[in-house]
Amino acid sequence: MFMRPGLRRGPGLLGAVARTAVVAGTATAVSRGINRSLDNREQERAEAAAYEQAAAQQQAPAQQQAPAPQQAPAPQQPPGRQDDLMAQLQQLADMRQQGLLDDQEFAAAKAKLLAS
């Protein structure tokens, strides 16, 4: 009666929205279909603002890392805290956006990050 979908692999829609919002700095301008607490939103706005600042400062170093993109995503700080993970995922997304990582490298780095 119902078709069975293929594997539900690949980038998720929710994650894509979060990444797009952060990269474009439009975290407040994206409709969120899923209810989130106000606190959560405020935190997202703060993170987006902080990320924009960090991205501006990292522009130059990010380009120097270009020859060795595989090393860049390796976590510099001990992982564990959700914030760190989010920041690192955002950094990866940004690097893909800038063309420093291709989709395969991004997926591999993300999987490694999530597994660590």
Partner 1 sequence: MGRGPMEFVVVEFPTTTIDQQLAGQLREVVTSGLVRVVDAMVIRRDEAGTVTVQEFADLAPEAARPYADVVGTIEGLIADEDAADIATRVQPGTSALVVLLEHLWLSGIAGAMTAAGGRVVFTERIPAPVVDQVLAERAAS
Which residues contribute to the site for partner 1 (CB under 8 A)? Answer: 1-15, 26, 28-31, 33-35
Residue type, 100: L
Shortest distance (Å) from residue 33 CB to partner 1 = 4
Question: Which of 29/56 has CB closer to partner 1?
Answer: 29
Closest CB to partner 1 among residues 29, 68: 29
Closest CA to 92 of 29, 41, 33, 19: 19
Angle separating helix axes 82-97 and 13-24, nearest 10 degrees: 80
Q: How far is the CB of 21 from partner 1 (least distance, A)?
A: 12
Task: For the CB of residue 91, give the shortest distance to partner 1 in the complex, in Å.
Answer: 18
Q: In terms of C-beta density within 10 A (0-12 exposed, 13-18 middle, 19 or more buried), how is residue 88 classed?
A: buried
Nearer to partner 1, 9 or 71 (CB): 9
